[in-house]
Structure 1
């Protein structure tokens, strides 16, 4: 490896395949729940179930856009993008947040119209049963996606999974409320539930947008990850070897670490390179997904324009 080269961890292709597979499952789940929830609304005429069906269309659009962004993010680094294209994943979660925001406004509008002109519900039992089946599909997939998101540090999977889980709780609340309408005779319960759905997914949209913007602003690694890096450098420092000017940043699942390694000027290039490689391997082992760039410098020397700490 040439001096100062970026050492990348293994396992990236496997991560991309796993993320893509889950997003493809998300597309299939969205198509299935669209059919089920639309049928539930058609049978009952419930605006609450209609709001639930509209959110499934958002799920589909978000999953398709996420697939496109993951494809872009998996492209190798090039001259114009030397750090790769990983940040494309943040556009996916941001787009999903915008879709959820738009869906919440549409749901609220439909709910207000139904509030002003209440209508009795029909076929409640069948409609609720269809909604429950769709919730089981989304809940199972969301749980699996959250585990995969933690395993692969994927904001795309986490955003899609949290959206699906929000959809599950929404469906449960709507189904329970729809069952209460014929029991109580309170027709206003149906639009009230739809408004509650709109407020809930609006909160989720705000969270996704906030995280996406944060990710696009080159956020440093977490305190725990930084502590792991510091521990490795402290362990490998000696009277001959010194480290400084450590910088870290995150881009979706990719994590970057840059620093200087100062070694005696009397060392051979081979010895200094071997020391750097040992440090790189230890850092990559300590922080999953870390990409390390270490610049070799003679002891006491700094690059032009860099002050000694």
Structure 2
């Protein structure tokens, strides 16, 4: 599913770019040019996302025993850098246009075409975000956030151009382009920061840690305690390890059965994920970890 949507992003981004370039050609607006330049990044990003999703979908192998999921984070980092680069290029064009702002003879037609392109972008961004969250794909989610930024940018550009036409203040065109670029810079930084967190094995969210803890607590059977829980996420799978304390007199076989029950329960919540359990005797009790659930 992720590969299919990543592949479709390529022709859709090219179509949107063509529409926005046409809108710029009809109007001569530097703000619309900035909007089109951001869509140029979308085309490159779509190709990167497709490549990353293909690599990430490969199963673990001898050289990559934990899989290839981090390829998506690499793609998202590159996309963030491209977003920032596009923002600086937009600022350059806008600053050059400040002394002599102007619009061509067909601004309204160009604005209508830009609105059509924005509508296509909005629908596609929504679909990418929905699938990206469902499949746990950082690449698709990064692309959707970027496109949503593009949509917001386009709406602001259209409103600003209409205001410039009504008032005759054409200086609003390059000023608007600069404001758009600043917003793009912020969005690019957020994409880079989130992706670097994934590459640096940032801890699981409080929500995920709570879900894991509750699942262990409800399925630990005769175990006495779970502590030292920690984990990280890699795209749509998680890696978790924790210590499980059992009665020191318990047989290895019985303790192993408890571990199996806990792993099966966690696997149902997080399919394909990796769970490492360190068994400990009861003299390792800390008293500050999860205890067996009292609910039957």
Shorter-chain TM-score range: 0.7 to 0.9
Cα offset, 1:41, TM superposition: 0.7
Alignment RMSD, CA only? Answer: 2.4
1:186-241 deviation line (CA, Å, top 9, x unaligned) = 12111111111111111101111111111111111111221222223333445555
Aligned twin of 1:170 = 153
1:130 matched to 2:113: yes
Matched-pair contact (CA < 8 Å) for 1:228–1:287 = no
Distance 1:187 1:201 in 2: 22
Residue from 24, 38, 63 that aligns with 1:55: 38
Count of aligned pairs: 286
Matched-pair contact (CA < 8 Å) for 2:6–2:53 = no
Matched-pair contact (CA < 8 Å) for 1:229–1:287 = no
Cα offset, 1:168, TM superposition: 0.8
- Structure 1 288/150 Cα, relative in aligned 2: closer, same or farther at 3 Å? farther
Matched-pair contact (CA < 8 Å) for 2:237–2:271 = no
Runs of 5+ consecutive residues of structure 2 not aligned to the other structure = 290-296
Aligned twin of 1:199 = 182
Distance 2:272 2:204 in 1: 11
Distance 2:93 2:123 in 1: 29
Cα offset, 1:299, TM superposition: 5.9
1:151 matched to 2:151: no
Question: Within 5 A, what are the aligned runs for 1:28-67?
Answer: 28-67=11-50
Distance 2:123 2:115 in 1: 12
Give every structure 1 segment of 4 or more consecutive aligned residues whose post-TM-superposition deviation is greater than 6 Å. Answer: none
Deviates most, 74-83 or 193-202:
74-83
Matched-pair contact (CA < 8 Å) for 2:243–2:277 = yes
SS in 2 for 1:120: coil
Distance 2:118 2:140 in 1: 18
Runs of 5+ consecutive residues of structure 1 not aligned to the other structure = 1-17, 302-308
Distance 1:259 1:21 in 2: 36
Deviates most, 215-224 or 271-280:
271-280
Matched-pair contact (CA < 8 Å) for 1:121–1:182 = no
Q: Which has the higher contact order (CA 8 A, sep 6+)?
A: 1
1:94 matched to 2:70: no
Distance 1:236 1:173 in 2: 52
TM-score scaled by structure 1? 0.84
